[in-house]
């Protein structure tokens, strides 16, 4: 019995850009890049955590004069992004160097809980627990 190569027997399933097809490794998002900061503005949030919770659809009315879809309803797919409540626990000050921005100092909030310290610090149970003394 002579069998052909597997890739000729059936078409492939899905795009190779989505390989490996598996559940993501971490549930919390990691911010990869921040937008350029405008130094003339007051300090503000440049990013906040959020994750994709699902998708749904909405029906919207198109208002585009001259289009054949003008004053007609259209169904669009939308993504639902879940943004849990975020608590500010500290502020980091950066200094501009020739190699880019470097962290200059960190100021922690007064209300940092022990649970946060335990999760944030590696080997917290073995540490001297003085990383947050100057809070």
Shared domain check, 106 and 72: no
Structural domain includes residue 59: yes
Shared domain check, 129 and 91: yes
Total domains in the fold of the chain: 2
Task: Encode 44-83: b = buried (16+ Cβ within 10 Å), e = exposed.
Answer: eeeeeeeeeeeeeeeeeeeeeeeeeeeeeeeeeeeeeeee
Asked whether 58 and 78 are in contact (CB, 8 A), the reply is yes
Q: Is 108 exposed, middle or buried (0-12, 13-18, 19+ CB in 10 A)?
A: middle
Domain span at 72: 47-85
pTM > 0.85: yes or no: no
Shared domain check, 98 and 80: no
Structural domain includes residue 126: yes
pLDDT in tens, 3-37: 666 656 667 778 888 878 788 777 766 777 888 88
pLDDT in tens, 43-96: 887 878 888 899 999 999 999 999 999 999 999 999 999 988 888 888 888 899
Shared domain check, 78 and 99: no
Alpha carbon distances (Å) from 87 to 49, 71, 92? 11, 44, 15
């Amino acid at each position: 019995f002579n069998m052909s190569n597997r890739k000729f027997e059936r078409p492939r399933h899905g795009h190779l850009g989505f390989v490996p097809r598996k559940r993501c490794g971490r549930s919390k998002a990691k911010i990869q890049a921040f937008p350029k900061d405008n130094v003339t503005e007051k300090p503000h949030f440049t990013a906040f955590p959020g994750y994709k919770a699902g998708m749904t659809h909405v029906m919207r009315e198109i208002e585009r004069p001259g289009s054949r879809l003008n004053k007609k309803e259209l169904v669009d797919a939308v993504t639902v992004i879940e943004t849990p409540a975020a608590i500010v626990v500290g502020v980091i000050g950066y200094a501009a160097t020739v190699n880019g921005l470097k962290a200059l100092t960190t100021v922690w909030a007064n209300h940092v809980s022990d649970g946060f310290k335990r999760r944030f610090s590696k080997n917290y149970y073995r540490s001297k627990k003085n990383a947050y003394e100057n809070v």
